[in-house]
Amino acid sequence: MKRLLDSQLIRALARGCAVLGAGGGGDPYLGLLQALQAIEDFGPVPLVDLDEIPGDSLVMPCGGIGAPTVFIEKIGNGDEGERLREHLEYATGRKVVALMASEIGGSNGLMPVAWAARMGLPLVDADSMGRAFPEVHQATMHLAGIPASPAVMTDERGNVVVFHTISGHWMERLQRTAAVEFGGAAASTEFTLTAGQARAPGVTVRNSVSMAIRIGTAVADVNGSPIDALIAAIDGNRLITGKIVDVDRRTTSGFARGSVVIEGLGADAGRLVRLELQNENLVAMERGRVLASVPDLISVLDSETADAITTERIAYGQRVTVIAFGCDPVWRTERGITATGPRSFGYDFDYVPVEELAGAGD
């Protein structure tokens, strides 16, 4: 059933997107401000199920690409989505009927709301990750064999590049290089598909916008501990509660990379947990033991409010709780693990579901 994304739902969406970003996807606060301004200027955005639009309708996945550390200073001007649609329609010869978030995590889950409001288009209740991942080809459409081409990139200045590549991996390489030349961040669309294709099992992560709203609502409406409420809402696992004692973060090759060390407090006193970053939190380790890893989600939360802290906002001295929870089942398939598991990021260990790791540590 169609819903209208108004200011209340968008605020809940922003909190949920922050958690689902696993540290990445861009600062959701900036995306929230853009979305709120857009719906104030142009009205609320219809959120529609893929079953509600004709199967031959063209859906445009879209969002930002680049290093989150750049996005907090290099802010878009709002018309990037319209430019993406214009050039995609020219490249395909077809009209875009609805937008879809490329990833539901962070600001990338909110940017399409702002663009959809400006264009008077609906947003479909789906995305291609169910979280945020750092690389273009780490999308469900890539696993399903949907071509990444044609793809369009633009920036706040009005520069536009159209890509036709032989694979999703080549799309990642070339778009990443272009994003660096754009100044480290840009807007893009790739893996264009029809609603009929998007409805097929495993092609998209359906109802992910609604899931983010549910997460945000669960935290906002709680009377007790927001951390406990969030863990219950997502069936998550608490990895550690403590303070940030070391941050090693750098922006290189179009990514924010580095590591963060959390020293345990209270019941976790004496523990040290290290997070490895590539835009998102990839791995949580304690003295060589893996606590959680991609494709499962690892989120760093403010211990008082349960607000998720993105990798570009983590700072020394913050009191945090680190949680981990299971990814969409599509990423636990053989192809999904190959594309997004720890070995795909250069780690020399196999993926183990977070709930099994949590059980092994009891």
If you ran DSSP here, which 8-state letter would residue 308 be given? Answer: B
141 Cβ contact partners less than 8 Å away, ≥ 6 residues apart: 61, 128, 148, 191, 193, 203, 204
Give me the number of domains the chain comprises: 2
Query: β-pairing, 96-101 with 297-302?
Result: unpaired
196 & 122 share domain: yes
The residue segments making up the domain with residue 70 are 3-210
Residues 281 and 182 in one domain: no
pLDDT of residue 236: 96
Residue 217: inside a domain: no
- The DSSP secondary-structure symbol of 49 reads -
In a domain? residue 216:
no
Report phi then psi at 231, rounded to 5. -60, -40
Structure-token pair, residue 233: 């809402």
Look at residue 344 and tell me whether its pLDDT is greater than 70. Answer: yes
Helix axes 7-20, 28-42, angle to 10 degrees: 160
Residue 215 lies inside a defined structural domain of this protein: no
Query: Which CATH number goes with the domain that contains 290?
Result: 2.40.390.10
188 and 240 fall within a common domain: no
Structure tokens belonging to residue 132: 């945020």
Model confidence pLDDT, tens digit, residues 44-92: 999 999 999 999 999 999 999 987 878 878 888 889 999 999 999 999 9
What torsion do the CA atoms of 343, 348, 354, 359 make, to the nearest 10 degrees? 160
pLDDT (0 to 100) of residue 255: 79
- Domain assignment present for 218: no
The model carries a pTM of 0.94
Among the candidates 149, 184, 210, a domain finishes at 210
| Tokens coding 121 | 């288009």
* 96 lies in the same domain as 243: no
Which alpha helices (H) appear in the chain, and where do they start and end? 7-20, 28-42, 68-71, 80-92, 111-119, 140-143, 168-181, 195-199, 208-220, 226-234, 334-340, 354-360
